[in-house]
Amino acid sequence: MNSSSPIRILLSDCEPWRSFITFRQQRVSTNQKVCSRRDAQILRDFLKIGESEPPTTVLSKVCATFRIGVRIDPKIEKAQGMVIGNRSGEITILLSDRCSEARTQSLEAHEIAHVFFAMLHQKDVIDYEALEEYCWSFASELVCPMSTRLRWAVEFDDDEACFRFAHLSSIARNAKISIRLAISALDRHPLLGLLQAGIVIIRMVPNRFTGKDRDLRIWQCARPYWGYLPTNQSCRKRGFVGAYSFFDTGRHFQSVSIDENLCLLRKKFDLAKWTPDVFTSKCEYTCVDVQNEGRYLVAIWKWPSPIREPFV
């Protein structure tokens, strides 16, 4: 469903969409930039969703209120979802039957985000990468609001305090969300700043803008507030060189640590410009094989300690 579709025009003048759009307009000025987390929080406020309500309850309440149908469709070959609609104003989310429960919930939240972006931002045109980032961010805020995420913590077995894939899996499992949604929820999280760490999802895909040059590319990332890593770029360009051999030889959920010379962007304080910085990092790669979707790598990198310049 795109932002100029007849469905959007039809629904925007019907309840409960009309009340929700008015509710949001009272809280967001017209000149404010698109903000996924703010939109999701406004939706939670509109529906009076409690902080401790589980993802299944949250998603059921959203779909019931806005009359969004959800259907498992075996015709969807890959482990993903899609949104369809008709001129009667009926919206249905189709989900693959090849997903785990946590993955299914995450995909449902992601597709709900697509619906709300189309309804709320009909005048905003953004590229595919920005749209996907909006939807994953919206989904993570919808099912795991910041007030909940700020209580996330990890326990370490040694004094090294090195964030690993096992800690990421534990966060996702406790929150009842998928690994990918947990990574989205950790983006700019204070925990990553405290641990001086970042997370990257690496996939074998073509350049998403040209459709050519199939390579191992940075697909998604969670960054500390002072670090930035462009997505869509090849792993080799950003220093994740060890990903190439491990992608071919690693086993499902196997992890390996490799010293890498990474090239990331960072800034010393909030208003500074992003500047390239090359540094040596102990990078932990973990293979994840998803049925009918293929393999991806989760790479967790750590900033060298101590930090060479203070961050304000």
- Asked if domains 6-143 and 166-302 share a fold, the reply is no
What's this model's pTM, rounded to 2 decimal places? 0.81
Q: Are 296 and 202 in contact (CB under 8 A)?
A: yes
Question: Tens digit of pLDDT for each residue in 144-153?
Answer: 998 888 888 8
| C-alpha to C-alpha distance for 236 and 145, rounded to whole angstroms | 35
Q: Where are the domains of the chain?
A: 6-143, 166-302
| C-alpha to C-alpha distance for 98 and 104, rounded to whole angstroms | 9
DSSP class of residue 144? S
Angstrom CA distances, 54 to 63, 97, 255, stand at: 15, 22, 30
Residues of the chain with pLDDT under 50: 3, 307-312
Compute the chain's Rg from CA coordinates. Answer: 20
Please choose, from the candidates 65, 30, 31, 29, the residue with its C-alpha nearest in 3D space to the C-alpha of residue 45: 65
Which fold, 166-302? Beta-Lactamase (3.30.450)
- pLDDT for residue 150: 87
Helix H, strand E, coil C: the string for 229-267 is CCCCCEHHHHCCCCHHHHHHHCCCCCEEEEEEEEEEEEC
- pLDDT for residue 90: 83
Q: Are 83 and 91 in contact (CB under 8 A)?
A: yes
Q: Is 196 helix (H, G, I), strand (E, B) or coil?
A: coil
Contacts for 290 with CB less than 8 Å, ≥ 6 apart: 79, 103, 296
DSSP class of residue 227? E
Alpha-carbon dihedral angle through residues 188, 193, 195, 200, given to the nearest 10 degrees: 40
State the residue for tokens 């019907």: 14
Tokens of 77: 């070959």
Question: Tens digit of pLDDT for each residue in 6-36?
Answer: 566 667 778 899 999 999 999 998 778 889 9
- pLDDT for residue 312: 34
Which fold, 6-143? Arc Repressor Mutant, subunit A (1.10.10)
State the residue for tokens 């509109």: 46
